[in-house]
Amino acid sequence: MKFTHLLPLVPLLALAAHADQRPNLIIILTDDQGYADVGFNGCEDIPTPHIDRVAHEGARFTNGYVTYPVCSPSRAGMITGRYQGRFGYRRNPTLNPFDENAGLPLEEENIAEILKKVDYHTGYIGKWHLGTHPKFRPNVRGFDEFYGFVAGGHRYFPEDLVFQTIEDVDRRGGWYNTKLLRNERRVETDEYLTDELSHEAVDFIVNNHQKPFFLFLSYNAPHTPMQASQKYLDRFQHIDDRLRRVYAAMVSAIDDGVGRVLDTLDELDLNEETLVFFLSDNGGASNNGSRNTPLRANKGTIYEGGMRVPFAFRWTGTIPSGIDYYHPVSSMDMLGTMVGLTGVEIAKERPLDGVDLIPYLTGKKSGPPHNVLFWQMFDKDHAVIRAGNDKYIDLNQEGKIELYDLSDDKEEAKDLLDQQVEKARDLQRQLDAWTKQLEPARFDPLGSWNPPGPNK
């Protein structure tokens, strides 16, 4: 694939016309997918032609980040457009459905709640993982339609799904075996889960294409358990490593689903009216066969392999096709972009950390969207600042600090701390000032499992 980093100007009148029309908005999110495991980032053993279309026909972000290197805090930052530490969402919550604290705080507005103010029809399909208590679930958090599951993972074959009620669920793993929810009703399914979610996404678009809609399609693949149907496994007999073969099959199922979504937009003549984002919720995991090459480490770490992800988006007719965008961007910028397009008002007491990327892609604005980006892993006491190409890491728990220049060392192999002491001190000051803005963790990672009574 050949990209250009030149950004031709798009007539501002055309952009204004799109904004007036309130474009449809789609986020396609994968789970634990490796940075190197899409064609647009150079993958050779797993074809992803449909995912690659998003980058081919729009923009590929070579420095696209999420706000945390594990699932739930990353999603909290993404869906609010704010650093999740600002509201104490600093670890994965317990899956205890009786814990009224373990979820996205009710005072924080998410994408759907914000877009409802400008009359979007909203849908969430797939993995939620932002609280299992009924008060945190999608239908009471701004989503008109929900199809999926509220926990952090799920088994993929319908014969494994046996639990119907909260009382049935075994806290040690039963959440992966629940029947899917359509809104708050358990439903029977008969397909491989990734295919099931893709079909639901197509149906949502078809049923709502005559009004502005927002769809969050949140695949749990290729998160464990590693399960793929024979249809997809048969495509990868050439991969000898069994774990990698199953992983490849799971990614291929996602790619087919992305193709169905894009084909549906084609058939309904919605390409110029729809902005499509694609990304992973964090870097590839160490246990699922993914690859983050050439980045260092993986999910659960503050190195690049934990937080830099496959990231692209497309808006036909507005974003020039084939852009390679090199400045660092964040998953928080998806909401920032939506707010810029729709003009919806954001509460003054909860300003966004995400920004509108459209002006940077069309040439209206130059320079980086962010002068700095920050991360902190609460339980490990690891904190990071990226300023330009400089990445400063404070591994406080280990009593160690590191400094890298990502312009020629995205592998984070050459620690420059000893050569650039003054720069490190300045970055530490900025990092300390940011961490002082964060709240303590809101919830216990384990919690207690004490049902209050029957039928709750």
Q: Which residues, 6+ apart, have CB-to-CB distance to 96 below 8 Å?
A: 102, 132, 133, 171, 447, 448, 449
Q: Where is 372: in which H helix or E strand?
A: strand 372-377
Half-sphere exposure of 372 (CA within 13 A, CB side): 16
Query: What number of H helices and E strands is found in the chain?
Result: 11, 16
Beta strands in 292-371 (DSSP E): 311-314, 323-325, 329-330
Q: Is the dihedral of CA 38, 44, 50, 53 positive or negative?
A: positive
Query: What does the block give as tokens for 80?
Result: 């609010």
Please give the order of strands across the beta sheet that includes 382-387: 372-377, 382-387, 390-395, 400-405
In terms of phi and psi (left: phi > 0; alpha: psi -120 to 50; beta: otherwise), the region of 237 is alpha
Q: Which residues, 6+ apart, have CB-to-CB distance to 339 below 8 Å?
A: 81, 114, 346, 352, 356
Three-class DSSP category at 337: helix
DSSP state of 280: E
Active site residues: 71, 129
CA distances for 394 relative to 119, 154, 378, 426, angstroms: 44, 34, 12, 13
d(CA 445, CA 188): 31
In contact, 352 and 110? CB cutoff 8 Å = no
